[in-house]
């Protein structure tokens, strides 16, 4: 075997080993609760700060690192302080990309994972307008859709169900800014939401 042939064989073996080490994960269900910033009750008409959040995700991993994507949805009832509740819902669409790191700790079927990432949060009302009666007249108020970039951190506790599946308990915070209406005009406010969920993570490759 020539030196060139040996180098090509060694490089091929190294690339094959790296390719084999890459893992693919699916997260078919996230079920949890998001506790929204207090401004949602004070300014956005939400009746409660807590809302059920459902999501799904996927990721790729190599050794102790993972890249993940999560798509989440949540909704909250609103009333805007009106006696005649128009039945408007505030809907949240949350898309997140994140980096996960699992420290190599010998925990016998358990593991810890640190998470940091960024994403996009879309907020919209359904229906997107309400009719308000005042002084014998009816006014239609448009409820505009808005979106903002977010960043988040989280911690995960993983319990191995079998060699290819884990049940994951996750808690984290997301941070972002929104333009909030005030009598003096829109003001940029910093907000933070608390997320707690349980999810199933399955290795498919």
C-alpha distances in angstroms, 149 versus 2, 139, 140? 55, 32, 29
**pLDDT tens-place values along the chain, 205 residues long:** 555 454 445 445 444 445 558 999 999 999 999 999 998 888 777 888 999 999 999 999 998 999 999 999 999 888 765 545 557 888 999 999 999 999 988 888 899 999 999 999 999 988 777 776 666 777 777 778 899 999 999 999 999 998 899 999 999 999 999 988 777 778 899 999 999 999 999 999 8
What pLDDT sits at residue 32? 97
Question: Is the C-alpha dihedral spanning 122, 126, 131, 132 positive or negative?
Answer: negative
**Which structural domains are found in the chain, ordered by start?**
3-203 (2.40.160.20)
pTM comes to 0.81
Residue 38 is classified by DSSP as T
The pLDDT of residue 106: 81
pLDDT for the residue 19: 52
Report pLDDT for 83.
Answer: 46
Report pLDDT for 26: 97
- Neighbouring CB atoms inside 10 A of 7's CB total 10
pLDDT at 38: 93
- pLDDT on residue 126: 82
């Amino acid at each position: 075997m020539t030196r060139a042939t040996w180098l090509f064989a060694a490089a091929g073996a190294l690339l094959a080993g790296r390719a084999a080490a890459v893992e693919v994960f699916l997260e078919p269900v996230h079920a949890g609760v998001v506790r929204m910033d207090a401004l949602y009750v004070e300014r956005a008409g939400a009746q409660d700060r807590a809302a059920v959040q459902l999501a799904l995700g996927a990721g790729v991993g190599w050794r102790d690192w993972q890249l993940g994507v999560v798509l989440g949805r949540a909704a909250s009832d609103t009333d805007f302080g009106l006696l005649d509740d128009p039945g408007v819902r505030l809907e949240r669409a949350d898309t997140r990309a994140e980096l996960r790191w699992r420290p190599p700790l010998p925990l016998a079927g358990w593991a810890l994972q640190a998470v940091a990432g960024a994403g996009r949060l879309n907020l919209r009302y359904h229906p997107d307008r309400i009719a308000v009666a005042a002084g014998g007249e009816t006014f239609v108020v448009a409820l505009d859709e808005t979106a903002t970039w977010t960043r988040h951190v989280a911690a995960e506790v993983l319990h191995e169900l079998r060699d290819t599946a884990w049940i994951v308990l996750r808690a984290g915070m997301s941070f972002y800014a929104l333009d909030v209406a005030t009598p003096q005009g829109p003001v940029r406010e910093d907000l933070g939401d608390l997320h707690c969920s349980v999810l199933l993570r399955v290795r498919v490759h």
